Copies of this chain bind each other. A is one copy, B any other.
Amino acid sequence: MSRPRGFVVVTGSELVRGDRTDLNGPFLAGELLRLGVEPSRIAIVGDDPAELESALSEGLEADLCLVSGGLGPTHDDRTVELVARAADRELVVDEPLEGEIEAISRAIAERLRRPYADFAVGVRKQATLPQGALVLGIAGTAPGLVLETERGAVVVLPGPPPELKRLWPRALETAPVQAVLSRARVPERRVLRFYGASESEIARALAESGGEGDGVSATVCARDFEIHVDLFADEEGREQAEKLAAGLRERAGRHLFAEDERPVEELVLEQCRQRGLTLATAESSTGGLVAARLTSVPGSSDVFLGAVVAYANEVKVAELGVPGEVIVRHGAVSAETAAAMAAGARERLGADVAVSVTGIAGPGGGSPEKPVGLVYLHAEAPNGDLARRLTLSGDRDAVRGRATVAALHLVRTLLARSRDEAA
C-alpha cells in the first residue's frame, strides 16, 4: 500500500507576487510528512480565479488537499466558492454560522462606529459554504472547513499563520481527514538537534552511520543557526533509525544538545527552574532579541527577571555599572565589556544567572581591528562563567540572529557544565 498523497494550495496575491514569504506551505507540508502523508506539491497562487481554480482542481486529485488563505469577506477572497466548484458541490448558506459571524461583525461595526449594513454582505458571503462542509471554527470572521472529496478530503484554513495553526488540529479530528490518515503509515519520528557543527559535517556523520534507506528517511537541515536532524522510520526501519541515532551521537555527540523539539530558550529556562535560579540578560547589538526569545516561552516569568538593553555606552555605565575606563581602554565591543555587562546585569537585576552580548551588527561601525560580525558573549552563574568571541558572517539580521542563538547556547552550556560539576 503506497502512502496517501498530499497537496498544499496557498493563496494570496502578496505571496505569489513575492511581497511576502509563505510560511503556511512549509508548516502544512511538514505536518503531512509527520502524519505519514507524502507532501507532493505546494502551489502558491494569487487571487486570479482561473489560477486558483486550476490549482484547487489539481489539489483535489490528491488524497488530502490543504488550502490556506482567501477566506476574507471581500470579493477577491474566492477560496470557498472555488473549492465548491472544484469539488462539484452546491453553495449553501449555513444559518447558525451566519448568526455567529453576524454577532462578531456587529461587535466590530460597533467598535468602528459603522452601520452593520456595511458588513451584512460580507457576513453572508463568509457563511456560504459548500454542501456538506464541516466547520472547524471561526478565525476573525472566516470559518475553517473540511469537505469530503472523491479521493479523500480537502481542508480549508485561514491565511494568518496563528489562526491556521489554531484550526489545523481540529481538522485532524474530522471523519474525512481521519479516513485518509487511517490509510497513512505514520512514521516513527526521532529528532536530534545540534549546535556548533556545519550542515555538511552532520550530513557526513549521518552517511557514515548508514544513511537513509531500509525504511528510514532522514532530513538534515540548518534552521535558526542550529542543525536539525529528523529521522522518519516505517515499521521495518525502527532498528535502522536507532542505529543512525547512535551513530550520530557517537560521531557528533559534542554538538548534540537535544533529542526533542524544545527550543534552546526553553531548555535554558528549564535548567534554571530545576535549580531555582533566576535569569537576566544584558544586550547591546542584539537589542533585546535574547530577552524576547526567553519571554516567548509561557511561564518564563518564574525564572526570567528582566534585561537591560544598553545600546548607548552611557547606559552600559549607568544601568549596568560597566566601568567607563573599561570601555575607554578596551572598547564597547570587547571581552572585558561583555564580562562587566553580565556581572552588572546579575547585580543590578538581582539575578543568579546573566548572559551579555556586545558586538558590531553592521552594516556600519566596523573597522580593520573590529570588523562587522565581531561579537563578544559572556555568561555568568553562581558557580562560574563562560566567555565567547564570534566573528559572524551575513547581514545585520543574520549577525543579530546568530548572536542571539549563540548567547542562549552559551548559558545552556554553562549551566550544563556546572550541573555536571555539581554531580
Interface, chain A (partner B; CB < 8 A): 12-23, 25-33, 39-46, 48, 51, 55, 72-74, 108, 112, 114, 118-119, 122, 160, 162, 166, 198-201, 203-204, 219-223, 228, 230, 281, 283, 285-292, 294-296, 298-301, 304-312, 314-315, 318-319, 348-350, 361-365, 394-398, 400
> Do A287 and B298 have beta carbons less than 8 Å apart?
no
A17 touches B44 (CB 8 A): no
Q: Is the CB of B230 within 8 A of A19?
A: yes
CB < 8 Å: which of B21, B23, B305 contacts A312?
B305
Asked if residues A304 and B311 are in contact (CB atoms below 8 Å), the reply is yes
Complex-state Cα separation, A112 to B289, whole angstroms: 28
Contact call B18/A29, Cβ cutoff below 8 A: yes
Q: Which of B30, B72, B108, B304 contacts A17 (CB 8 A)?
A: B30
Tell me which residues across on chain B come within 8 A of A400, comparing CB atoms.
295-296
Q: Is the CB of A219 within 8 A of B13?
A: yes
Chain B residues with CB under 8 Å of A348's CB are: 318-319
**Nearest 5 A/B pairs, CB to CB:** A288-B288, A287-B295, A18-B30, A18-B29, A288-B291
A174 → chain B, closest Cβ, in Å? 22
Residues of B within 8 A of A198 (CB): 108, 112
4 A-B pairs besides A21-B22, A308-B308 with CB distance below 8 A are: A14-B221, A16-B29, A17-B29, A112-B201
What are 13 residue pairs bridging A and B, where the CB atoms are less than 8 Å apart in the complex?
Answer: A16-B29, A16-B42, A18-B32, A19-B221, A19-B230, A22-B26, A39-B46, A43-B44, A72-B200, A287-B295, A306-B315, A309-B309, A315-B349
Which secondary structure dominates chain A's binding surface? mixed
Most buried by B among A40, A221, A310, A311: A311
CB distance from A303 to the nearest CB of B (A): 10
With the chains together, A74 CA to B205 CA distance in Å? 12
Least Cβ distance of A273 to chain B in Å?
15
Q: Please, which residues of chain B bring their CB within 8 A of the CB of A51?
A: 40-41
Q: State the CA gap A204–B74 with chains docked (Å).
A: 8
Beta-carbon contact of B295 and A311 below 8 Å? yes
A319 near B306 with CB under 8 A, answer yes
Given known A166-B395, A203-B74, A295-B311, contact A223–B14 (CB-CB < 8 A): yes
The reply to whether A18 and B39 contact each other, CB–CB distance below 8 Å, is yes
List, in ascending order, chain B residues with CB within 8 A of A74's CB: 199-200, 203, 220
Residues of B within 8 A of A29 (CB): 16-18
CB atoms of A39 and B12 under 8 A apart: no
A306 lies within 8 A of B310 (CB)? yes
- How far apart sit A306 and B288, CA to CA, in the bound complex (Å)? 9
> How many Å lie between the Cα of A48 and that of B41 in the bound state?
10
CA distance A223 to B69 in the complex (A): 13
Q: Could you say which of A18, A112, A308, A362 has the most chain B C-beta atoms within 10 Å of its C-beta?
A: A18
Q: How far is the CB of A359 from chain B (nearest CB, A)?
A: 12
Q: How far is the CB of A367 from chain B (nearest CB, A)?
A: 15
